[in-house]
A = this chain, B = another copy of it.
Amino acid sequence: MTTRQTCLDRDVADPLGGVRGRFSLPEGLIYLDGNSLGALTHAAAARVDEATGRQWGRDLISSWNSHGWIGLPQQVGRKIARLIGAEADEVIAADSVSVNLFKLAAAAVRAQGPERRAVIIERGDFPTDLYILQGLAEAMPEIDLRVVDPGRFEAALDDRTAVVLLSHVHYRSGVVRDMAAQSAAVRAAGALNLWDLSHSAGVLDVHLNRDGADLAAGCGYKYLNGGPGAPAYLFVARRHQTILRNPLSGWMGHARPFDFIDDYEPAAGVDRWLCGTPPILSLTALDAALDAFDGVDMAQARAKAGALGDLFIERVEARCAAQGLVLVGARDAAARGGQVSFAHPDGWAVMQNLIARGVIGDFRRPDVIRFGFAPLYVRHVDVWDAVEILGEILDSESWRDARFQTVSAVT
């Protein structure tokens, strides 16, 4: 039977246990929201300070070269590539997930030619993925946008399908898709697959090339710990790099941006997916944060996230039985990302109480409380303690009456 001491023992034996020391975590807080905003690393704090005072403040414009600002999008891309099973020259940091999905989906439709104009996405996927495709379909009326029921994209594939946008891990349920099988299904129909890795990169062992991914984009501020609103990244498999053209053809994606010529000529390789000048302070934070993954085996990271989630489910169902909590999404760790969600009719109030007691998760309407188990800094004992606090709250008389300020809902 699991006890608190078992958890402490597991933390001692944890091969990733030492990585937690790279993070600057507030004393006494149990942070289970790394799937919304990853924690600050010591390296990121130091690098932002350096980039602000010494680089911007003292060295000013020369820092673009002398401190390597100009190469940061590629440098960050190389670091992320290792985490997602891509080659170093297939990934680049740029813009936001939303903007990157627009670029990639638009490029894919254009490359597929006039006979393939259907774009497929499943209802209930992360909203911005749906919204971006809706905006794209308005801007390019030749697009036939097919929003299909959850789990039903394969039935919608046909010889008019240009591209299918799939979330690797579902933002609400945490369910993970079978990337190899679903990539193959899309490609067998002659379409391109486009993966949103926002909830999988940095917590699962993603294998884009092994699993036949064509295109992908993901978020820098969740499990990659890049800081609030950190720049996103995108992946274009080498076989597509010369064909696909970025519709957001800004100067940073030009073959020779500092020649200042009038005609756009896309850079070779993944560089063409840059658009405007990147936000260097935020990009520096992401670059430094990624060093927390140095030496981390992503298969180990996934195994640990799975074990933490298993422990959480086991403990909630033991400690909080008959309290109205219903598991949402997969019970099996192999089918889950780094998060576990429960539905509860008073989910919002439950989460407010948890936050007031120093256990940070988040709430998704209408009734889902969501907990992320970032394997680089969450311990087994944190999971134990979090469930104990949850149990105490639900056992108490008063929690439904409590008044708390609204917690952010930014994922």
Contacts and interface: CB of A to CB of B under 8 A. Distances in A.
Interface of A: 24, 26, 29, 31, 33, 36-37, 39-40, 44-45, 48-49, 51-53, 55-58, 60-66, 69-70, 95-99, 102, 106, 110, 123-124, 127-128, 130-132, 134-136, 138-140, 147, 172, 219, 221, 227-232, 245-252, 254, 257-264, 275-283, 285, 355, 360, 362, 364-365, 405-410
10 contacts: A39-B60, A45-B57, A62-B408, A64-B410, A65-B405, A69-B229, A97-B276, A135-B250, A138-B249, A229-B276
Contacts of A231: 279
Q: Can you tell how many copies of this chain the complex includes?
A: 2
A108 to B, nearest CB: 12
A99 B49 contact: no
Contacts of A45: 52-53, 57
Given A24-B57, A70-B408, A128 B52 contact: no
Contact of A251 (B63, B128, B285): B128
A227 B281 CA distance: 8
A277 B135 contact: no
A369 to B, nearest CB: 14
B132 A232 contact: no
Given A48-B48, A247-B138, A229 B278 contact: yes
B279 A127 contact: no
Nearest to A29: B60
A360 B62 CA distance: 9
B52 A37 contact: no
Contacts of A282: 279-282
B61 A262 contact: no
Contact of A262 (B33, B124, B258): B124
A26 B57 contact: yes
Contacts of A260: 127, 172, 364-365
A299 to B, nearest CB: 28
Contacts of A280: 227-229, 282
A249 B105 CA distance: 13
A282 B110 CA distance: 33
A52 B64 contact: no
Contacts of A60: 26, 29, 31, 33, 37, 39, 360
Contacts of A110: 138-139
B31 A249 contact: no
Nearest to A231: B279
Contact of A52 (B40, B58, B62, B134): B40
Given A249-B134, A277-B221, A64 B228 contact: yes
A218 B278 CA distance: 14
Nearest to A254: B131
A355 B62 contact: yes
B57 A99 contact: no
A44 B49 CA distance: 11
B98 A251 contact: yes
Contacts of A57: 24, 26, 39-40, 45
A57 B225 CA distance: 11
Contacts of A37: 56, 60-61
B276 A98 contact: yes
Contact of A247 (B31, B135, B285): B135
A407 B52 contact: no
A106 B40 CA distance: 38
A372 B275 CA distance: 25
A135 B33 CA distance: 38
Taking each of A39, A127, A285, which has the highest tally of chain B beta carbons within 10 Å of its own beta carbon? A127
